[in-house]
Amino acid sequence: MSFCSFVGGEVFKDHFQPGIYVCAKCGHELFSSRAKYEHSSPWPAFTETLRGDSVAKREERPGALKVTCGKCGNGLGHEFLNDGPKRGQSRF
């Protein structure tokens, strides 16, 4: 599976088959389908990355981190702190 950016119709938003989501640019493993959950945003939502080095993060504003591929730097969106399905979880 590839993690694709939103361009008028994100194909993986409602995709819940088991697997690993990878960077569309370099194939680096990013998220497991086990960390995916339904969310009202137009993009897929995850509670955690597959590994500690899956992504790189930098603060963009309070409560939101800019997220890029940990291998090639491809832009992946944001991590929203404390916005996950359970108290204290993040939403990627």
pTM comes to 0.78
Please report which confidence band the pLDDT of residue 5 belongs to, taking 50, 70 and 90 as the band edges. Answer: very low
Domain 18-89: give its CATH code. 2.170.150.20
Q: How far apart are CA 56 and CA 40, in angstroms?
A: 25
Report pLDDT digits (tens) over 9-34. 566 666 768 889 899 999 999 999 99
All structural domains of the chain with their residue ranges: 18-89
Question: Higher-confidence residue: 41 or 2?
Answer: 41
Q: Would the pLDDT of 6 be above 50?
A: no
Cα distances from 20 to residues 14, 28, 50, 61, 82, in angstroms, run: 15, 10, 8, 29, 23
Report pLDDT digits (tens) over 31-66. 999 998 888 877 788 999 999 999 999 999 988 999
